[in-house]
Amino acid sequence: MKEADMCLCPKPGEWAKGKMVGSGAFGSVHLAMNKSTGGLFVVKSAESRAALDFLENEANILGNLSSPHIVKCIGREKLEGVNGVRKLNLFIEYMAGGSLADIADKFEGVLDERMIRLYTREILKGLVYLHRNGVVHCDLKCKNVLLSSSGNIKLADFGCAKRLNGFMTRSSSMESSESICGTPLWMAPEVLRKEGVINYAADIWSLGCTVIEMATGKPPKWGDEILNPMAAVYKIAHSNEMPKFPAGFSKEGLDFLHKCFERNTKKRWTSENLLGHPFVCGKLDERNAENVELYSPSSVLDAGVYEEDEDVLVSKELICEREIKRRIPFTMRSFGERDYMSHRHSTNSLIASSGNWITVRIS
């Protein structure tokens, strides 16, 4: 049976809800199975009014998108609960690889720069598609970037997403330019300052934060303010500083981050500009690669994951496409930052988005 047939929207009563595999401030996420096809998917459920607003926004946004770089919504189910309280189930394709945040937790390390380049390229493809269709994601971070078992990347969690007015569709809901949501340490300065309508440049700032997160296994660091999130938020919004860049990062990577963290939104590079940047198209300089401390396999599950790049030169485009489909992530030892991993959840609780969903993953 084709995979496309396995992911058909289940008919009412023709699907079974499995165990909860994630939760957030606005609802729960369960594994589910289509009884007619045996296909797996996940269901996001919401009952409170606030939860319904975010989930309906996600459903409306995803309902008008179709891209191999965006997680697919396969349907929705509206129900009347007790005392007339509305319920909503949103059916989403199942991404067996989990999220980029899961990868760091699972391997107790951070991503190698070669993988960061590949993943960043795929994230950019998703952003280019969104921006061409008038959508700003508004909550880009590692938790909201999902992987298939083969390593394909898709953007997910569109509860905070906004569609710009010039791209309104009949199913889109009007969004207030004053309302913001997302995760503070990943938000752009202009968003935190509530300066007019949010635009695509906000996603680019968040992309830079996501690259740092992949490279360090932690949120962007603003001096010692990670221990005081509100001080960090104030510095993001009102200073002229940039977050601390990853140690040992290549010159292409550092330049890429500078383009993302340009405080003047008119000068900040677009997703299309960045897709042509050497960081995502070029080959990692061997001199920079010498600074990377690779993580030795600790079990049979890690063995064979890493393999050296071929010496044969092929096109940059082909390298990116082949690598992302062929490999699963491997890690390197973090430069003195591994202690953060054991405290990730407690730190995130201080700075998490009110609309954040915990990434779906089967233990």
Active site residues: 139
Report the interhelical angle of 251-260 vs 201-216 (nearest 10°). 140
Cα–Cα distance measured from residue 248 to residue 291, given in angstroms and rounded to the nearest whole number: 6
Give the Cα separation of 85 and 143 in Å (integer). Answer: 30
End-to-end, the C-alpha distance of the chain in Å comes to: 26
Q: How far apart are CA 124 and CA 272, in angstroms?
A: 8
**SS3 call for 225:** helix
Beta strands in the chain (DSSP E): 15-24, 27-34, 40-46, 73-80, 86-93, 98-99, 110-111, 135-136, 145-147, 153-155, 162-163, 331-332
Burial of 323 (0-12, 13-18, 19+ CB in 10 A): middle
Q: Residue 17 to residues 12, 89, 363: CA-CA distances in angstroms?
A: 12, 11, 17
Give CA–CA dist 354/332, Å, rounded. Answer: 32
Q: Which of 95, 94, 100 is nearest to 118 (CA)?
A: 100
Q: How many residues does the chain have?
A: 363
Lookup: tokens for 215: 């490279």
Contacts of 300 (CB under 8 A, 6+ apart): none
How far is 233 from 166, CA to CA, in rounded Å? 30
74 neighbors 92 (Cβ within 8 angstroms)? yes
Phi, psi (deg, nearest 5) at residue 325: -90, -25
Angstrom CA distances, 100 to 146, 170, 213, stand at: 6, 34, 9
